[in-house]
Structure 1
Amino acid sequence: MNFCKLSLIIILLCFFHFDLLFAQKTINGCIRDSENKSPIESVDIYIKNSTTGTISNSEGKFVLNIPKSYIGGVIVISSMGYKKEELRIDSLSDSFEFELKRETIELDDVLLITQRKKITGKEIVEMALQNWNTNFSDSPFLAEAFLRHRERNEVEYKWLIESALSIYDPGIKKNSSEIKINVDETRRSYDNREIDTLLLTRFYLANKGNLSLREIKKIKDGNKLNFSEVTNWNDLEYNNIEYLISGQLNIIRNRFADNSIFGKDIFETHTFTLDTILFDNEKILYKIKISPGKKMIDLKLGNTYNKGFIPIGWLYVYKENYKIKEIEYALLPGSKSQKARSRVIFNSKVMHKINLKFVEYNNKVYPKYFSYQTPKFLNSIFKPDSKGEYNKGIIRDEGKQYYYTKQEILFTEIITDEEKINVALQKNKWNSDIFKSLPYNKTFWDAYNVLMETDKEERMAHDLNQVKNSVISD
């Protein structure tokens, strides 16, 4: 090989390395209030004229991977009550802090709104729901999304799953049962739950209906069944990701589904009161208080008793077009039996907690963020021995008695291109089982947008991984 050929190869390799090096730009940032310097949570950070983006955590921190094609573009930083900011991507360092200024409301604007015909919270919600079919996308779209599934007590993580999802939505005019979900990749899958085998076995048999309650209470051994079958049943029955996306919990998207929380009796089960008028990016935004109605709410989640709830929360709706921006929603025990159940079994006043954020793109509304939290009973105060007897002399640490599950989905990109959607539909086998771990793909995750953890969450995930690995080595 002569010198010229060798030089050409070296130059080509250098260009190839240079191209890879700048194939994307990763920025780590922190968003703060310009007045009190406190971190701002749930700030939208996205690439202008796209749906690619992320949100900040409770420490105001975020990480955003920017594809090569957008490096010459602009990122938008936006949060309710603050002035929207736009920054050139090529001017940003890999790590930076940014302060948002509060958006002031002029007195003339407030007077102009209040002097017009008064509108009630109920009327605003009625208009938002009437316009939902035209505001939400009525065409099919494909969402790339990041899932973080956590189960923890007050002290530590016991279960952590992080996955990349593909979610196909046929459009608002189609039934939610046509939504498809696929687990593309697994980032983490750590499971160190201490499950009460006796309790769960009894629960499994009760729900299967194979034995009477009297027969179930006689069971003194939690190991007579194939326990992997029992735990798999529990995971799919109560942690299934399809419950979030296709079921009742997706309360806005699936309002026409059977047993919908925001269904035909919405104004019997809820009271909506106009609380405050806000400004969001120079647009008028109604903040509506959600409180209990005359009737209680019943859920249908698997075979669990889920009756007798009352709602509280906040709903944010734009005045201009009645598009829903966000909903913060919780279900509290309302009936006597549900109050007793929540106090004795779960030690929690909030039984279901939902947060939904939406983003507008090409004049249509798409999902941006979805979180769901619920308490979970896996351990009793007294731990049973191998014979199924509870030793009342040994009590679990108070912080380890009660668990709760939190599932978060960040929609990192919305794809509306028909050809790309068809390719994905033909390619994917659409398996929504988040509990089946896939091999770690470093190249994939280096370029994928995720929800940034807080420092505490990162430590807890690290500790869980260490415990998991030490158990395996033992």
Structure 2
Amino acid sequence: MKIKQLTICVLICAFAFTSNAQKTTHFYLDSIARLNNLQLTYSEDLVNLQKTIYPTSDSMAFDDYIEMLALKYHLNIQQKGQCLIVTNPRAQTIKISGTLIDLFSGEPQPFAHISQQDWGTGSITNSEGEFELNIPSLLAGFKLDFSSLGYADTSIFIPKTDSLNLIIPIRPKPYNLNEVLVLPNGNTAEDLVRIASKRIKRNFHRKKAQMDAFYRRTGFRDSTFVQLIEAALLVEDKGIDMPTSTTKIKVIEVRKSQNYLVPMSAKYKWAYEKMEKMIHGGHRNMFYMAYNNPVRAYKNEWWYQPLTDYETFRYEFEGAMWLDTIKVYKVQFEYDALYPNGKRASENKQSFHGGYIYIDANDYGIHKMEYLFRLIPKHNNAKYGIKNGIIDQSVISYQKIEGKYYLKYISDIAPTNAKNFIFENPDADDKDKVIKHRQWAETLLVITNVVTERQERQRISNKSMLDHHENSYETNYPYNPDFWENYSMIKQKPLPGKAIEDLEWEKSLELQFIENSTSYVKD
């Protein structure tokens, strides 16, 4: 007969104390099964029950305890007859897709946060406000939350079956117009940045954390998609007090399309690699570079440090805005180095090199940073912008978990590892060259899950850790189609229809993924 009294945890913990068995997931589930005269049933190929866990010692009923274990340790646990069946919830998923839009204007909301608090993971909308999620069916009936800077949070309940092409409106958060342009306590914009920088050690995590991450790199020639690289990564960050060089990354899965970018010449590639070595100390790995961010690297010696170099940057207060119930200050920064001719960089009216910092009005934590280096049309070299005059553009967003800030996502538009420009007349003088095509890359790194508890972290050994100097851009990796088919929660709307058409002009993406993996053997 099933145990209903609120002593099940006490019985299990007492048994754990007197037993020589390891306190693994299997131990606790087997104990529950035996206490209820059930047979524990599972497949070792589908679920790992040998992980050491530390569940709550609070007393609770059988059903509540099972639900707690399922949610906390990402399992699907059900009683069927005389069996306690444990399966992998990722194998049973609900697909949800749609677009997040402004309630009044109907404009899509790009890079908005999507989270499922009970499962402890999430995603973001893409650049068109679209999303596609594969959610464990275990979470049907739970809330899925959407949030975006300047908007009130909104939620939907996860349906029991697939729900596609949803339109989800999000309401703008009204400003208090009396305080929009008022600096707090008479501080200057620079003061706000100084306070935020000073409090980084207090606000951002100082203990080791592990993060599941999704990486996407898309190559473009004009408006045509010509390359796709996607990866599932495990990131181990030792905290804000430790050098960025201590970060470890483990590659879980990688898939690559054909690379249809027009490559650099051998001579230019040699020079490019030498420049990389000089700038990054030989550190060329695109996954490590993708994780690097200005808050995490605020102590690093570098020429571009808007959080700490107050002589080189100028700051202006842009006003206050809301992240749901959180008030944030928006500060513009601009590169303003003093040149040998006595002029400041900001006096150059032919470009903008700066961005914005969004600072929490309560604890001065940094919620978001935006970078932009753009040439205005009258610039002498304006034609050499890679996209609408942009030389480089990035957005870095942070999330707050249990009082500490962690990276949420980084999106970037930048030159690619190929020719940036294809000219109609490549042999002409630079001033006379006519650009026929532009090439650039857009990258995205999304943190989908953060694990802070020591006992729940996986160990990344030096052997399994990705080498900082490995050229992952050119290296092929194993390709596992089943993994990507069941990739849970973070499978955004993979690509617009045009991207698939562009990339599949010669052969299917699936065949390209196979051909660009270590498993491919040419006939």
Give the TM-score, by structure 2 length: 0.67
1:91-130 mapped onto 2 (5 Å cutoff): 94-95=163-164, 96-106=166-176, 110-111=178-179, 114=182, 117-130=185-198
* Residues 1:173 and 1:49: Cα distance change in structure 2 (over 3 Å): farther
- Tell me, yes or no, if structure 1 residue 351 matches structure 2 residue 391: yes
Q: Which sits farther off after the overlay, 361-370 or 458-467?
A: 458-467
* Residues 1:22 and 1:64: Cα distance change in structure 2 (over 3 Å): same
| Partner deviation per Cα, 1:238-264 (whole Å, 9 max, x = no partner) | 673333334xxx222101012162278
Deviation at 1:65, TM superposition (A): 2.7
Q: Where does the alignment leave 5 or more consecutive residues of structure 2 unmatched?
A: 1-79, 276-281, 340-350, 516-521
Counterpart position of 1:286 = 329
Looking at structure 1, the residues matched to 233 and 371 of structure 2 have their Cα atoms a distance apart, in angstroms, of: 24
The count of aligned residue pairs is 407
1:423 aligns to what SS in structure 2? coil
Choose from 201, 207, 216 the match for 1:133. 201
Counterpart position of 1:321 = 363
1:123-272 mapped onto 2 (5 Å cutoff): 123-197=191-265, 200-201=266-267, 203-204=269-270, 240-246=286-292, 250-259=293-302, 261-262=304-305, 266-272=309-315
Counterpart position of 1:450 = 491
- Which letter maps to 2:270? Y
* Residues 1:22 and 1:467: Cα distance change in structure 2 (over 3 Å): closer
2:491 aligns to what SS in structure 1? coil
- Which letter maps to 2:361? K
* Residues 1:113 and 1:63: Cα distance change in structure 2 (over 3 Å): same
Looking at structure 1, the residues matched to 397 and 146 of structure 2 have their Cα atoms a distance apart, in angstroms, of: 15
Looking at structure 1, the residues matched to 174 and 352 of structure 2 have their Cα atoms a distance apart, in angstroms, of: 35
Deviation at 1:403, TM superposition (A): 1.4
Q: Which sits farther off after the overlay, 355-364 or 414-423?
A: 414-423
Choose from 135, 147, 157 the match for 1:88. 157
Contact 2:122 2:449 in 1 (8 A): yes
* Residues 1:310 and 1:177: Cα distance change in structure 2 (over 3 Å): farther
Give the TM-score, by structure 1 length: 0.73
Counterpart position of 2:457 = 421
Deviation at 1:454, TM superposition (A): 3.4
Deviation at 1:139, TM superposition (A): 0.6
- Tell me, yes or no, if structure 1 residue 409 matches structure 2 residue 445: yes
Q: Greater helix share, 1 or 2? A: 1
Deviation at 1:27, TM superposition (A): 1.6
* Residues 1:321 and 1:342: Cα distance change in structure 2 (over 3 Å): same
| Partner deviation per Cα, 1:359-404 (whole Å, 9 max, x = no partner) | 11111111111122223562552588xxxxx599xx999452x211
Looking at structure 1, the residues matched to 507 and 321 of structure 2 have their Cα atoms a distance apart, in angstroms, of: 43
| Partner deviation per Cα, 1:215-251 (whole Å, 9 max, x = no partner) | xxxxxxxxxxxxxxxxxxxxx87673333334xxx22
Provide the aligned C-alpha RMSD in A: 4.0
Deviation at 1:141, TM superposition (A): 0.9
Looking at structure 1, the residues matched to 89 and 204 of structure 2 have their Cα atoms a distance apart, in angstroms, of: 38
| Partner deviation per Cα, 1:5-39 (whole Å, 9 max, x = no partner) | xxxxxx99xx9899879733332122122212222
* Residues 1:466 and 1:265: Cα distance change in structure 2 (over 3 Å): same
* Residues 1:45 and 1:344: Cα distance change in structure 2 (over 3 Å): closer
Looking at structure 2, the residues matched to 83 and 345 of structure 1 have their Cα atoms a distance apart, in angstroms, of: 36
1:376-415 mapped onto 2 (5 Å cutoff): 376=416, 378=419, 380-381=422-423, 398-400=435-437, 402-415=438-451
* Residues 1:155 and 1:58: Cα distance change in structure 2 (over 3 Å): closer
- Tell me, yes or no, if structure 1 residue 40 matches structure 2 residue 109: yes
Of structures 1 and 2, the one with the larger relative CO (CA 8 A, separation 6+) is: 1
| Partner deviation per Cα, 1:178-225 (whole Å, 9 max, x = no partner) | 11122221233321233243xx3255169769xxxxxxxxxxxxxxxx
- Which letter maps to 1:204? W
Deviation at 1:424, TM superposition (A): 3.4
- Which letter maps to 1:103? K
Contact 1:348 1:375 in 2 (8 A): no
* Residues 1:26 and 1:348: Cα distance change in structure 2 (over 3 Å): closer
* Residues 1:278 and 1:254: Cα distance change in structure 2 (over 3 Å): same
Deviation at 1:412, TM superposition (A): 1.3
Contact 2:137 2:160 in 1 (8 A): no
- Tell me, yes or no, if structure 1 residue 331 matches structure 2 residue 373: yes
Looking at structure 2, the residues matched to 314 and 68 of structure 1 have their Cα atoms a distance apart, in angstroms, of: 40
Looking at structure 1, the residues matched to 400 and 180 of structure 2 have their Cα atoms a distance apart, in angstroms, of: 26
1:129 aligns to what SS in structure 2? helix
Q: Which sits farther off after the overlay, 167-176 or 435-444?
A: 435-444
Deviation at 1:78, TM superposition (A): 0.7
1:63 aligns to what SS in structure 2? strand
Contact 2:89 2:137 in 1 (8 A): no
